[in-house]
Amino acid sequence: MDVSSLLDPLNDAQRQAVAAPLAPTLVLAGAGSGKTRVLTHRVAWLVEVENVSPHGILAVTFTNKAAGEMRARIEAQLGLPSAPLWIGTFHGIAHRLLRTHWREAGLPQGFSILDSEDQQRLVKRIIRGAGLDETRWIPREVTWFINAQKDEGLRPKHLKDDGDPTRRQMIRLYEAYEEACRRNGVVDFAELLLRSHEIWRDVPGLVEHYRARFGHVLVDEFQDTNTIQYAWMRMLAGSTSIPFVVGDDDQSIYRWRGARVENLQQFRRDFHGVQVFKLEQNYRSTGNILAAANAIITNNSGRIGKKLWTSGERGEPIRLYRAYNERDEAEFVVNGIRDWVARGGNRRDTAILYRSNAQSRVFEEYLLAARVPYRVYGGLRFFERQEIKDALAYLRLISNRDDDASFERVVNLPTRGIGARTMEVLRAHARANSISLWQSCAPCAGELGARGAAALQAFIELIGRLDADTSDLPLHEQVDHVIQASGLAGHYKKDKADKGEARLENLEELVSAARGFEPEDGDMPPLMAFLSHAVLESGEGQAEEWEDCVQMMTLHSAKGLEFPVVFLCGLEDGLFPHQRSIADVHGLEEERRLCYVGTTRAMRHLYLTYAEQRRMHGVDNYGAPSRFIAEIPPDLLEEVRPKVQVSRPAYGAARGHAPARPAQSTRPQRYTDDAPGSLKLGQRVRHQKFGDGVVLSVEGQGSNARVQVNFERQGTKWLMMGYANLEAV
Ligand code: ATP
Ligand code: MG
């Protein structure tokens, strides 16, 4: 490849960066300005023009998906197999190093890697082994502590307890954990980086070898590096290798996991003669989308400050949809995708982005119902999540005691003293007599120790009680009761760090799912129908990676990607920005950067949606529209109205139409039932939550009928007629 064809597809600023002299380089630029493109072209430039051997190049990105794409792009540009290049994530590359230098690293040759679940199980065993109370020393919190230290490059010996007994115990557990890892020959994710950093630091000659080999180290998404990753890169670069890093301070979204946006500045201090390039032209998005993103991010303080522009067309306005509730939101999105496909678009060009994993469920349900293939990235689908499976296992046992898989799953969850030995006895008996584990409990009682037998008996009674106590309850109360009374909720509640909170939210979301569940077959008991529905939803539905399917992911997982059509959903205060972050300026600014990341994923069409009422985590929320919406200049936005016939007043038309989803409505529909036909424009009404107000307009029909009320205290709101439960005053 010649130089001109390498530089042709670049603008001036990009060329400057790609062809920069061989010195430490920082490319600092906003979303969609071609940072990743510059990085891959730089690799090509080094090989083609500077005659650097591909063996001498190390490129680091944030995810395996991104690494795969980078490899593909480089192959396409270089026309060379990219195998001799080292391209990967920080973890992937550190792993490769340890595999090569296991001896120096003090690891067995066949060391294995603990994933986060394994890691936590090990921590749990250690807590128990130390004779500590697990409710006081919560495995997740201890794991979180250990990982946070490792991410900062700290071993137990570096830590001081400062006379704090809790901290002292944490440090001891960290020590014991290290010892156990050593005995078992295992390493966790954080250890990969820390250990490879240490061998470079401590093994004479080793880092020199890599410095001599890798004359060039390139890092994408540099704003999200944490302390150990930065130290690792710095160690490798030393004073001889040349780092080339690209990033955007406005897209730093992993502060909560130890990322340090300050590394961008640190880099300029730590390396000598850093050349800085800024890119300002955006090639990804239409003018309107870009203007909206720029407007949102200007509300943050302490930015390095960049202004992006595009020479492309303004494009369509950003479409804003105010949904009545989360189901209406999902319906709107699915219809939008179907329209796009009907007009010849690919499904893979559409993305549904959301703040929290729990939001995916309703979309999945509607996509399944509409038979639109989809795929959820970076996160398990709702019914596959651990805590959901735990809850479903209890429910399954209630409806079928002989379900062995469910029995195994929850018999000792939360821990109730039913150990491996008890289970071995049960399994052997069940196998020998071809009966279920449940049926083996009674006959085995004699073979078990007194404690084991008592624990097992308590479990059997628990299941019996759960069954008896819930058999007359409506499905969602049944689910809720089981989650609480089984001890599952308490189990996850104790766990303040890591995923505990998210798991609780998901459990509450399961209650919501049960509440909105409409059995197709009226003859089946609702619980049984719900359980079969869950089985279907967890196995089927999701498309294969290569299929043309809708892309679903959280905003965090969408970093670096782009899609022609983006639905950014759930824009309500409390959800996005997340409740946790609203009170804290830094938290709020990180949420805003996340919003900037979300909007800048869109190339041509951007839809923003929010719901006036959202049933999430088992409760109804009436969140105000996200403050981020108000940060977008109104002339860039266009409100989308549902496609219903507007009639004024339309109430009469709604009569006789039962809401399409009766099972979904758990509130009394007092207004519709008691006072048909009497809702008029200008009428005073009372809402349970919002208080008194005046009817401003009524539109839509049947289950879509909605009413706009100006409430004295809460301002104007659209409510869904069937659910609003308005009283005439
Ligand atoms: P992000 O901040 O989201 O990671 P980025 O700065 O890495 O974005 P890229 O993904 O490299 O941006 O580029 C965004 C889009 O613009 C890509 O589709 C890329 O191919 C295109 N692009 C970048 N530079 C040019 C250019 N000079 N001419 C045409 N298209 C370009
Ligand atoms: Mg990029």
Mean pLDDT per block of 10 residues along the chain (729 residues) reads 82 96 96 95 92 94 80 78 83 89 89 72 84 91 94 95 95 94 83 95 94 96 95 92 96 88 94 95 97 96 87 95 94 96 96 92 88 80 80 90 85 92 91 88 92 94 95 93 95 73 84 80 74 62 74 92 97 93 91 97 98 82 93 95 44 32 30 44 82 78 68 75 77
Which pLDDT does position 702 carry in this prediction? 55
| pLDDT (tens digit per residue) in 630-687 | 999 999 999 997 654 333 333 333 333 333 333 333 332 233 333 334 577 778 888 8
Q: How far apart are CA 325 and CA 328, in angstroms?
A: 5
Ligand nearest to C-alpha 558: 1
Site of tokens 């409760």: 619
**Which domains can be identified in the chain, with CATH numbers?**
3-101+194-281 (3.40.50.300), 112-184 (1.10.10.160), 397-402+409-520 (1.10.486.10)
Is 601 an active-site residue?
Answer: yes
Ligand 1 atom closest to the Cα of residue 283 is: 16
At 400, is the secondary structure helix, strand, or coil?
coil
Predicted confidence at residue 118, as pLDDT, reads: 65
Residue linked to tokens 């999701």: 542
Q: Tell me which of 35, 73, 381, 396 is the catalytic residue.
A: 35
Q: Which atom of ligand 1 is nearest to the CA of 561?
A: 3
Q: How far is CA 450 from CA 447, 456, 457, in A?
A: 9, 10, 10
Which pTM was predicted?
0.72
240 CA distance to ligand 2 centroid (A)?
26
Ligand 1 mean position, distance from CA 562 (Å): 9
Q: For residue 541, what are its two tokens?
A: 């539905």
Which strands, in side-by-side order, build the sheet including 242-247? 86-89, 57-61, 216-219, 242-247, 25-29, 275-279
Residue from 104, 151, 188, 220 carrying the catalytic annotation: 220
Sign (positive/negative) of CA torsion 62, 65, 66, 71? positive
pLDDT for 186 equals 79
- Atom of ligand 1 lying closest to residue 597 CA: 3
Kindly provide the b/e burial profile for residues 185-210, where b requires at least 16 CB atoms within 10 angstroms of the residue's own CB.
ebbbbbbbbbbbbbbbeeeeebbeeb
The ligand whose atoms approach the alpha carbon of 38 most closely is 1
Could you write out the three-class secondary structure of 305-373?
CCCCECCCCCCCCEEEEEEEEHHHHHHHHHHHHHHHHHCCCCHHHEEEEECCHHHHHHHHHHHHHCCCC
ω into residue 443 within 30 of 0, thus cis? Answer: no
Beta bridge partners, 727, equal 686
Cα separation, 250 vs 577, whole angstroms: 16
In whole angstroms, what is the distance from residue 584 CA to residue 378 CA? Answer: 27
* Chain center to CA of 148: 20
700 vs 43: CA distance, rounded Å: 57
Ligand closest to the CA atom of residue 278: 1
Task: Report how far apart the first and last C-alpha atoms of the chain are (Å, whole number).
Answer: 78
Backbone angles phi, psi at 684, to 5 degrees: -85, 135
- For ligand 2, the distance from its centroid to the CA atom of residue 221, given in whole angstroms, is 7
Is 686 considered catalytic here?
A: no
193 neighbors 90 (Cβ within 8 angstroms) = yes
Catalytic, out of 36, 77, 223, 470: 36
- Provide the pLDDT for residue 671: 33
Give me the sheet containing 691-699, strands edge to edge: 715-720, 706-711, 691-699, 684-687, 727-728
User: Which pLDDT score, from 0 to 100, does residue 198 have?
Assistant: 96
Closest ligand 1 atom, CA of 33? Answer: 6
Q: Is 220 tagged catalytic?
A: yes
Per residue in 446-495, pLDDT tens? 999 899 999 999 999 999 999 999 989 999 999 999 999 999 999 998 87
Instruction: Give dist(CA 271, CA 234) in Å, integer.
Output: 9
Q: Where are the beta strands (DSSP E) in 617-722?
A: 619-621, 637-640, 684-687, 691-699, 706-711, 715-720
Q: Treating both helix axes as pointing N-terminal to C-terminal, what angle do 500-515 and 386-399 enclose, rounded to 10 degrees? A: 50
CB 326 within 8 A of CB 720: no
195 in ligand 1 pocket by Cβ < 6 Å? no
Is 36 one of the annotated active-site residues of the chain?
yes
Q: Is the CB of 32 under 6 A from ligand 1?
A: yes
Concatenated DSSP letters for 430-473? HHHHT--HHHHHHHHGGGS-HHHHHHHHHHHHHHHHHHHHHTTS
Catalytic site includes residue 251? yes
List the one residue out of 202, 215, 156 whose CA is nearest residue 181. 156
- Atom from ligand 1 closest to the CA of residue 40: 11
Task: Show the tokens assigned to 484.
Answer: 């609480």
pLDDT, residue 657, reads 33
Minimal-distance CA residue to ligand 1 atom 30: 283
- Alpha-carbon distance 606 to 384, whole Å? 30
Q: Compute the distance between CA of residue 691 and CA of residue 716 in angstroms, rounded to an integer.
A: 12
Counting ligands in written order, the one closest to the CA of 37 is 1
Closest CA to 679 of 665, 662, 699, 659: 699
pLDDT in the model for residue 523? 65
Q: What is the pLDDT of residue 604?
A: 97
